[in-house]
């Protein structure tokens, strides 16, 4: 069904819509229109109608607005007080009983789009600004970083067996067979869309599941974060060798900064997308210029060499397994990034890479690959088998690097963070979140007083690491997560979807009216 719902606080773009986009994601989740609630059961439909006609619907709508249409907010009950640490004076107090619903709702903060679309959009927006600041400057990062050598590198997993690929898939003699009697070639053209739908489901699936090395796939995935760490070490050593200095002296001459996200390929193996920037020596005053002897092309060569030569020796899972030498795949892509529109087709722009990395920072294995296929079910079975064998080996030896493998089955064995960065690449997510809280407080004060507010001119103040001058004492108890029933959850999800559509409409309008 389609319901017209009037949520003034949620679906109207208030004055904050004119402020800096980095600080007003919550206010941006707006736009009056129809909320589409499709495929609801009769029971959920009744719950939706009951909420719409309830006496406290206005209070509930305001609560939904405060949490930015979060579909799984955390419910808390308790009190808090702000106290002057010097005098002990209580400056202010707050109690959940003062709230119209008697309960405080807080955003779940989940970065996964499959779990909470609203909080995922907020996380992606923060990641966009974090990544872009490291490319073009801004948000306390000097604009001089735009002139530093910068690369966009993609490091993939090696081959564990032939899988169906897009385009002309493994052309060759169909009469050639593997030891299990299956063809070593395919010859089909796998493409997305209606015409290629039947062949598209084969993408990422092994030509022969029995030839595919599932155990090595899982082990590589498990140690992928360690292999990335080895890559950064190799890059630092290669850079020091190029500059003709000892590796321990490199921080006095140059530093390497990066922002990285992990993405699952169709075959269920992660690959890393990374922005890699070269800076000068560390300085307490900020980012310094890199040595002129290392251009973007030189840095690209060093990254390619490090990714091609780095390796990691890992032990066997148990006595029935074998040790392995892990490496990155041969499909390595390293491209130069420009802060402005590049003259050549090979270079990328800052907006392109920032949007790309921010998008994949909100993904999980289930978002990127179809986990219902026979291939991914076999991956899950391999993880369970290796985990059981690791547990037995742990009992015998007292320790195994694979003993926690079973905890990461949902991630297909990948135990790393989906988004990471070096310390000095740019600002932190914590700084952005504190700035948003300060901005929201000032926006509320501006609305109450009717005084215009330009947050863009206050950026440095919003991002400043101010020391706390008051003591906050809270007594809170956790009541649960999520809305009271499925009807409220459906309304929240519909409001989040409408907010996303409205933000896309605004972005399209700005792009249409902005000068070239």
Question: Which residues fall within 8 angstroms of residue 192, CB to CB, at 6 or more apart?
Answer: 166, 200
> Which run of H or E residues covers position 28?
helix 25-28
241: three-class secondary structure by DSSP: helix
481: three-class secondary structure by DSSP: strand
Q: How far is 474 from 481, CA to CA, in rounded Å?
A: 19
CB 185 within 8 A of CB 191: no
DSSP β-bridge partners for residue 476? 78
Q: pLDDT below 70 — which residues of the chain?
A: 1-33, 192-200, 285, 339-347, 361-371, 466-469, 512-516
Residue 419: DSSP 8-state: E
Q: SS3 string of 50-76?
A: HHHCCCCHHHHHHHHHHCCCCCCCEEE
Residue 163: DSSP 8-state: B
- List of E strands, 85-149: 90-95, 104-106
Model confidence over 222-253: pLDDT tens digits? Answer: 999 999 999 999 999 999 999 999 999 999 99
Closest listed residue to residue 496, CA positions, set 31, 74, 47, 103: 31
Task: Quote the pLDDT of residue 1.
Answer: 53
Q: How far is 434 from 423, CA to CA, in rounded Å?
A: 18
């Amino acid at each position: 069904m389609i319901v017209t719902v009037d949520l003034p606080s949620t679906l109207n773009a208030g004055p904050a819509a004119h402020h800096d986009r980095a600080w007003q994601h919550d206010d941006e989740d707006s736009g009056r229109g129809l909320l589409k609630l499709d495929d609801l059961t009769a029971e959920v439909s009744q719950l939706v109608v009951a909420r719409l006609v309830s006496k406290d619907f206005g209070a509930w709508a305001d609560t939904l607005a405060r949490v930015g249409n979060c579909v799984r907010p955390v419910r808390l009950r308790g009190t808090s007080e702000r106290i002057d640490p010097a005098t002990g004076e209580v400056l202010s107090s707050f109690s959940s009983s003062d709230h119209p619903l008697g309960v405080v709702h807080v955003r779940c903060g989940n970065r996964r789009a499959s779990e909470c679309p609203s909080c995922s959009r907020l996380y992606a927006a923060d990641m966009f600004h974090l990544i872009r600041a490291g490319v073009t400057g801004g948000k306390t990062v000097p604009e001089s970083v735009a002139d530093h050598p910068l690369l966009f590198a993609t490091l993939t997993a090696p081959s564990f067996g032939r899988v169906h690929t897009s385009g002309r898939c493994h052309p060759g003699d169909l009469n050639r067979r593997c030891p299990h009697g299956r063809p070593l070639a395919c010859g089909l053209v796998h493409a997305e869309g209606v015409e290629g739908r039947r062949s598209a489901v084969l993408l990422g699936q092994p030509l022969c599941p029995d030839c595919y090395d599932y155990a090595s796939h899982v082990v590589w995935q498990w140690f992928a974060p360690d292999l990335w760490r080895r890559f950064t070490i190799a890059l630092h050593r290669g850079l020091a060798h190029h500059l003709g200095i000892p590796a321990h002296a490199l921080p006095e001459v140059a530093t390497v900064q990066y922002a990285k996200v992990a993405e699952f390929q169709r075959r269920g193996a992660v690959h890393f997308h990374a922005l890699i920037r070269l800076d000068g020596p560390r300085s307490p005053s900020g980012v310094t210029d890199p040595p002129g002897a290392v251009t973007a092309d030189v840095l690209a060569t060093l990254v390619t060499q490090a990714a091609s030569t780095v390796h990691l020796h890992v032990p066997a899972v148990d006595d029935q397994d074998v040790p392995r030498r892990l490496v990155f795949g041969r499909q390595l892509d390293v491209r130069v990034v420009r802060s402005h529109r590049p003259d050549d087709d090979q270079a990328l722009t800052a907006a392109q890479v920032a949007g790309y990395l921010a998008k994949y920072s909100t993904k999980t294995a289930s978002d990127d690959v179809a986990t219902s296929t026979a291939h991914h079910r076999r991956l899950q079975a391999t993880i369970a088998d290796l985990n059981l064998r690791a547990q037995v080996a742990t009992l015998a030896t007292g320790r195994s690097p694979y003993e926690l493998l079973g905890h990461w089955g949902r991630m297909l064995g990948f135990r790393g963070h989906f988004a990471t960065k070096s310390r000095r690449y740019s600002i932190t997510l914590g700084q952005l979140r504190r700035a948003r809280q300060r901005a929201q407080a000032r926006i509320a004060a501006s609305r109450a007083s009717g005084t215009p507010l330009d947050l863009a001119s206050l950026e440095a103040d919003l991002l400043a690491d101010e020391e706390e001058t008051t003591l906050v004492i809270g007594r809170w108890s956790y009541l649960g997560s999520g809305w009271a029933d499925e009807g409220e959850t459906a309304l929240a999800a519909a409001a989040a979807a409408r907010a996303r559509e409205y933000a896309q409409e605004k972005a399209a309008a700005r792009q249409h009216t902005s000068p070239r």
